[in-house]
Amino acid sequence: MTEKRLPFTKEELENIIEKYPTPFHIYDEKGMREYARKFNSAFSWNPGFKEFYAIKAAPNPYLMKILRHEGFGIDCSSVAELELAEKIGMRGEEIMFTSNDTPDYEYRKAIELGAIINLDDIAHIDYLEKCAGLPELVCFRYNPGTLKEGNAIIGHPEEAKYGFTREQMFEGYRILRDKGVKRFGIHTMVASNELDPDYFVETAHILFELIVEINRELGIRFEFANLGGGIGIPYKPDQKAVDLDRMSKGIHKLYNELIEANGLAPLNIYFESGRAITGPYGYLVSKVLHIKSTYKKYAGLDSCMSNLMRPALYGSYHHITIPGKEESATKIMYDVTGSLCENNDKFAINRVLPKLAPGDTVVIHDAGAHGHAMGFNYNGKLRSAELLLRENGEVVQIRRAETLSDYFATLDFDGIAPFEV
């Protein structure tokens, strides 16, 4: 069981709302730092261990700076994410660039920053060489196909668009070796939001065995094995968080049996988690606008799926707390909705909650990853602000809310009058 707590009281939250109107996302710095330290501690047996925070989860430079302070690198997948890393002073091998269907200008930016390049396609060896040149260190993303099951979010490996086949891994590293590349990494990621710690141990087993086989056939040594992300979070109260110590213990055992025993140590262990790092420590705070009664009861909020898309996109569960009404004896079943012109714009369906009224504050949990980041402007909805609850209790705005001026900024209204129809 996972207790769904809030890092602030009802009174503290109402004081925040007085200064920053709803809706907004708010992140708990203390929670993020504590988890980061727990993650690092679990893998302290590996001197080169590093977590590269998957910036796609919550691409805010304030959060990135906090996590960098905890020793994390950054995992980027686009030129915008690379530039965000650059803007907080990150360069070199504290940046991992993992993308797919990659345009040439993104490779050039990654090379400019000295980032670790993680190729997704064997054809991109020549593409990278022609557009930016081969760097000293190159990594490939392995897709194990039927050797490993995926899940609904990322797809089954043999059907997913990501990575090299097993045969392509051998051929790709052979090509790199023959072209004079001297340093090598290896990577895989085949699931997302996985809660079973043994899943990651099995992933390490597949990757470590492949490292041994490639070394025997090609004579190359690997500097690191990036086990990817995918560490899930307990969105539902009856779920358990991934046991990092158990996962690490299993990976350590395999490391001794396969890497140490074959003379392939040291091998740095990397991860690129995003959801687990910020997800449980972010909250979408909203207000009830309307209560509607037809064939069902609806609680309409001042936020919508442009603030949090996961329930509409994946049917995902996000826990909901009504501050001040946690112990209410009166319970009613609601669909909790936004105002988009889409019937799937719902944060919850048939959810039993305390009796709601217009003006009630609603806090949606586990919105710190793939929440604000997946926002969009359909129906002219504007993206909300992002706030940070500091360890000392101070609240700072780390991204302002969008305005209509922002929304219209790319339109040429001056050109409308002379435009002939």
pTM confidence score: 0.94
Examine residue 410 and state whether it is found in any structural domain, yes or no. no
* CA gyration radius, the chain: 23
For residue 353, the model assigns a pLDDT of 98
Mean pLDDT of 344-356: 98
- My answer on whether 274 and 301 are in the same domain is no
Task: Point out the residues that are catalytic.
Answer: 341
Using the 3D structure, point to which of 233, 258, 278 is the last residue of a domain: 278
187-214 tens-digit pLDDT = 998 888 999 999 999 999 999 999 999 9
Examine residue 152 and state whether it is found in any structural domain, yes or no. yes
- My answer on whether 125 and 68 are in the same domain is yes
Examine residue 136 and state whether it is found in any structural domain, yes or no. yes
Using the 3D structure, point to which of 278, 311, 334 is the last residue of a domain: 278
Identity of the amino acid at 278: T
- My answer on whether 155 and 174 are in the same domain is yes
For residue 146, the model assigns a pLDDT of 73
- My answer on whether 273 and 130 are in the same domain is yes
For residue 141, the model assigns a pLDDT of 96
- My answer on whether 286 and 251 are in the same domain is no
Tell whether the model's pLDDT for residue 107 goes beyond 50. Answer: yes
Mean pLDDT of the chain: 95
Contact status, residue 338 vs residue 345, Cβ threshold 8 Å:
yes
Hey, which residues does 188 pair with through a beta bridge?
142
* 327 vs 171, higher pLDDT: 171
For residue 192, the model assigns a pLDDT of 86
- My answer on whether 329 and 258 are in the same domain is no
For residue 154, the model assigns a pLDDT of 46
Residue-range definition of the domain harbouring residue 293: 280-402
Examine residue 412 and state whether it is found in any structural domain, yes or no. no
For residue 220, the model assigns a pLDDT of 96
Examine residue 294 and state whether it is found in any structural domain, yes or no. yes
- My answer on whether 271 and 290 are in the same domain is no
Examine residue 264 and state whether it is found in any structural domain, yes or no. yes
| Number of CB atoms found within 10 A of residue 89's CB | 9
Confidence grade of residue 2 (pLDDT, cut at 50, 70, 90) = confident
Tell whether the model's pLDDT for residue 67 goes beyond 70. Answer: yes
- My answer on whether 158 and 173 are in the same domain is yes
Confidence grade of residue 148 (pLDDT, cut at 50, 70, 90) = low
Examine residue 390 and state whether it is found in any structural domain, yes or no. yes
CATH code of the domain covering residue 72? 3.20.20.10
- My answer on whether 391 and 243 are in the same domain is no
- My answer on whether 152 and 295 are in the same domain is no
CATH code of the domain covering residue 394? 2.40.37.10
The encoded tokens of residue 17 equal 């709302």
243-261 tens-digit pLDDT = 999 999 999 999 999 999 9
For the chain, what is the domain count? 2
